Structure 1
Amino acid sequence: MVRKISAENIKELRSKTGAGMTDCKKALEASDGQIDMAIETLRKKGLASADKKSARIATEGLIESYIHAGSRIGVLVELNCETDFVARQQEFHQLAKDVAMQIAACQSVIYVSKAHIPNEIMLYEKNIELQKEDLAEKPAEIREKIACGRIEKRLKELSLVDQAFIKNSEITIEELVKQHIALLGENIKIRRFQRFILGEGLESRNNNFNDEVLNMIKNK
């Protein structure tokens, strides 16, 4: 017997996925009213839809900022979409805020994706791995295989879109963006970002003070 789908069920699924009412109803009917199965169905459809849109040009959007509590870490991120209409949507603004917050939280992230990592960085990381002591005695083929696995892990650590979303660790930032592509119907891309850390690159006041003391002693 097919379970009756109520308006409350459809509303709940819509609030969790952002999908349209008709799509929510169909997904619930196909899953016999089981919310989790319906979410998975919509997610698969959404991601497939997002993949088709990912090649479209996105030149609109916004620049979002995030300042962490204490004002010691700040982030600027440019998020692009196809039209000004989508750029004004609340969901798009929330995505930009979430991405900016993610960048502040992930200090190891330097690039938007692995595709943005320069070849010289990849070669540098590979050279380091191949020279590690635990690989020294292994056959060349095994060394190469292990090193490639470690490099892939390292490159993911540097890539923003490969990070688990801090508000939902079951999805990556790439999947989060694709969900919004499906929701808003346009291609969305994280173009670039910059992280600012207070005092980064400057010598600490303490080190300067120590140098001053040493110079005073030497000059006596």
Structure 2
Amino acid sequence: MATITAADVNKLRQVTGAGMMDCKKALVEADGDFDLAIENLRKKGQKVAANRADRDSTEGAVIAVVNDAKTAGVVISLNCETDFVGKNESFVKLAQDLAALALNYTNKEDFMNASFDGMTVAEKLIEQTGVIGEKIEIASFERLEGTFVGSYIHAGNKIATLTSLSANVPGAEEAARNVSMQAAAMSPIALNEAGVDQAIIEKEIEIAKDLLRQEGKPEAMIDNIAKGKLGRFFKDNTLVNQDYIKDSSMSVTAYVKSVDANLTVTGFKRVALG
């Protein structure tokens, strides 16, 4: 039987992040074979993952990152089961490292197959499931590209957003951050009226009509009044039409144009836990 030293255990712990006792046990079972010990820990993670597959993973950390050129950004949500784990410094660091890697990929599938710490991202999540003892998964992956992209992460890493602007002008970075903050706080369903699904529009019109009938409005007037109420719905629920949270006397569109007369918001992504 191979002699397992404290240095061996510590090395395995540094590589995998597993606890000292788990590392020692894995090395003993592998008779000192380092690679086999890593494989044993992964198998443990697979077993834990299988046992917890039906658990809800609604806690975690949402991280947004933007490239150096400010032309692309990603938001990922690394989810776990408990708020205690989600706030853990090493868990948040893992989410940040994964987000930095995600910036190099355009879709979740390629990202999950990307190399991370000598294994794929998917394998890393299984490993960490074994280490932490909770279901760990990438619940969201969103990418945004544009002429200028900015980001915002809400305190506690519960919500993160990206916003793209039409030009890189003086003040664009602050504007993109402020609009990203707006999206985080006000949860718009679309950028503008054109982005709202037709089924949602039809549903809102029908709700308005039903309410108007209950109020006893004449049937001949209902269609026009309902369409007017739809305008209020767009104002409340589309990003560029919302009242700007830092100055409700202007819309988000007006705020952006106060930075530069030709500047517009071209897109956004919002990811929240839960």
TM-score range (shorter-chain normalised) is 0.5 to 0.7
How many angstroms does 1:202 deviate by?
9.5
Letter in 2 for 1:106: Y
TM-score (norm 1): 0.61
Contact 1:160–1:173, Cα closer than 8 Å, also in 2: no
Contact 2:67–2:73, Cα closer than 8 Å, also in 1: yes
Q: Deviations over 1:97-141 (max 9, x none)?
A: 23322332112x1xx4xxxxxxxxxxxxxxxxxxxxxxxxxxxxx
TM-score (norm 2): 0.50
Letter in 2 for 1:55: D
d(CA) in 2 for partners of 1:15 and 1:91? 12
Q: What residue number does 1:193 align with?
A: 141
Q: What residue number does 2:96 align with?
A: 97
Secondary structure at the aligned position of 1:105 is classed as coil
Contact 1:79–1:190, Cα closer than 8 Å, also in 2: yes
Q: Give the root-mean-square deviation of aligned CA atoms.
A: 2.6
Letter in 1 for 2:73: G
d(CA) in 1 for partners of 2:29 and 2:79? 35
1:183 to 2:182 alignment: no
Runs (4 or more) in structure 1 with deviation over 4 Å come to 200-204
Map 1:1-220 to 2 at 5 A.
2-107=1-106, 109=107, 112=108, 159-160=109-110, 162-165=112-115, 167-168=116-117, 171-199=119-147
Gaps of 5+ in 2: 149-163, 168-274
Q: Which has the higher helix share?
A: 1
Letter in 2 for 1:192: S
Secondary structure at the aligned position of 1:24 is classed as helix
How many angstroms does 1:203 deviate by?
9.4
d(CA) in 2 for partners of 1:42 and 1:62? 24
Q: How many residues align?
A: 153
Percent of pairs with identical residues: 37
Q: What residue number does 1:125 align with?
A: none
Q: Which has the higher strand share?
A: 2
d(CA) in 1 for partners of 2:58 and 2:165? 36
Secondary structure at the aligned position of 2:61 is classed as strand
How many angstroms does 1:164 deviate by?
2.2
Secondary structure at the aligned position of 1:56 is classed as coil
Q: Deviations over 1:151-183 (max 9, x none)?
A: xxxxxxxx2564222x34x53222121112111
Question: Residues 203 and 16 of structure 1: is their aligned pair in 2 closer, same or farther, counting only changes over 3 Å?
Answer: closer
d(CA) in 1 for partners of 2:26 and 2:35? 10
Secondary structure at the aligned position of 2:3 is classed as coil
Q: Deviations over 1:62-112 (max 9, x none)?
A: 2211122222221122222111100011232123223322332112x1xx4
Question: Residues 61 and 203 of structure 1: is their aligned pair in 2 closer, same or farther, counting only changes over 3 Å?
Answer: closer
Letter in 1 for 2:12: L
d(CA) in 2 for partners of 1:52 and 1:161? 25
Letter in 2 for 1:71: K
d(CA) in 2 for partners of 1:39 and 1:12? 11
Letter in 2 for 1:185: G
